[in-house]
A = this chain, B = another copy of it.
Amino acid sequence: MSEFSANDCEHMAHALRLAERGRYTAHPNPMVGCVLVCNGEVVGEGWHKAAGEAHAEINALHAAGDKASGATAYVTLEPCSHHGKTPPCAEALIEAGVAEVVIGLEDPNSEVDGDGLTALTGAGIQIRIGLMQGEIEKLLSGFISRVTRSRPFVRLKVASSLDGCIAMSSGESQWITGAEARSDVQRLRARSGAIMTGIGTVLADDPSFTVRDASLDVGERQPMRVVLDNDLRMPLSAEMLVLPGKTIVYCISDKKQQALRDTGVEVVMVGQNDGQVDPAEVLGDLARREVNDVLVEAGPTLAGNLMSNGFVDELVIYQSPHIMGSETMGMFDTPSWTELADRKTLDIIDVRRVGSDTRITARIGT
């Protein structure tokens, strides 16, 4: 374990804030930030904005110019050593004469796998690793999930009353939560590679699932819409089919595919699990399509299926200050949970007020 000073922490925190600027655009690449420091002075900073554009280290080196020589580079993620869309960063750091590299997180990507480190140490550059690793892992949870588990990080969003209701039994649900919470959901969408839902929600609400908040710089990109639709009940008139961005419909039956495909939608047939589209296959396919983060905005059927089968990594509940009572729908359909011991324990990692609602973010335990 390397040792770090207070100054080291300050510079890595700076690099982490730079990395976060790519939150809505770096996808499918990881967000990375880099700060170059020489004699205690920041001489260059950089972050990775989008795939195909320069990496964080290159931007920082460019900003530092001659001052990079002899500097310490603080970089949130291990510099790459492979020739991808851009030349390798390890090589660039060596050429610029950087004296030391402080790395937050080793690259979890097997394609990199320590080669960057080997190149740097081979060139006589001092390396220290692991500063603010926990924070960086949290920021990159989607990317890490995709490259290590071959499936995206799944974040499930629910809007409910304080007594856990998401709609009246009739389906009436607009609006459970307030405008600020709905605006906050725009940020969840913007940081996601795909929004997943079930056909029931499409038929009931005809949602668009687009990022409409112009203050969120998502560029041209809209998150993919993903619909789990066993028997292709997707209406050809669905709103999401005509909006910017891609829609994929996963089914287990091959009827009616052509009509849907004619609308420009991609229809993918996958295996089934208990008569339903198998979420494991869908998530595997999305990882192959380089989706890091999936936001699930679904009704209790799909939400319960994902929760029961252990596919939910993080739960984001927007809880409104209301009691809705018994003639309502709950968050999760979990027919197989008949004993208290079947319940899932949550690790609550953040609670905050969003308008008049409370946002609770939790990881799923056992």
A residues within 8 Å of B by Cβ?
A: 160-165, 168-170, 172-174, 176, 300, 304, 307-308, 315, 317, 321-328, 330-335, 337-340, 342-348, 351, 358, 360, 362
Q: B344 touching A337 by the CB < 8 A rule? A: no
Given contacts A162-B164, A346-B162, contact A340 B324 (CB under 8 A): yes
Q: A337 touching B325 by the CB < 8 A rule? A: yes
Q: B327 touching A337 by the CB < 8 A rule? A: yes
A-B contact pairs, 15 of them (CB 8 A): A161-B343, A162-B317, A162-B360, A163-B164, A165-B330, A307-B323, A322-B345, A322-B346, A323-B343, A323-B346, A325-B342, A326-B333, A326-B337, A327-B334, A351-B358
Closest to A331 in B: B163
Quote the shortest CB–CB distance from A131 to chain B (angstroms). Answer: 30
Quote the shortest CB–CB distance from A44 to chain B (angstroms). Answer: 43
Given contacts A170-B338, A335-B327, contact A322 B343 (CB under 8 A): yes
Quote the shortest CB–CB distance from A301 to chain B (angstroms). Answer: 10
List B contacts of A307 (CB < 8 A): 323, 325
Quote the shortest CB–CB distance from A310 to chain B (angstroms). Answer: 12
Quote the shortest CB–CB distance from A118 to chain B (angstroms). Answer: 43
Given contacts A160-B164, A326-B304, contact A321 B347 (CB under 8 A): yes
Q: A339 touching B172 by the CB < 8 A rule? A: yes
Closest to A307 in B: B323
Give 6 closest A-B pairs by Cβ, nearest first: A164-B164, A325-B334, A321-B346, A163-B164, A325-B337, A323-B344
List B contacts of A304 (CB < 8 A): 325-326
Q: How far, in angstroms, from A288 to B173 measured CA to CA in the complex?
A: 43
Contact of A326 among B169, B300, B322, B344 (CB under 8 A): B300
Q: A163 touching B162 by the CB < 8 A rule? A: no
Given contacts A300-B326, A330-B326, A331-B163, contact A321 B348 (CB under 8 A): yes
Q: How far, in angstroms, from A312 to B165 measured CA to CA in the complex?
A: 20
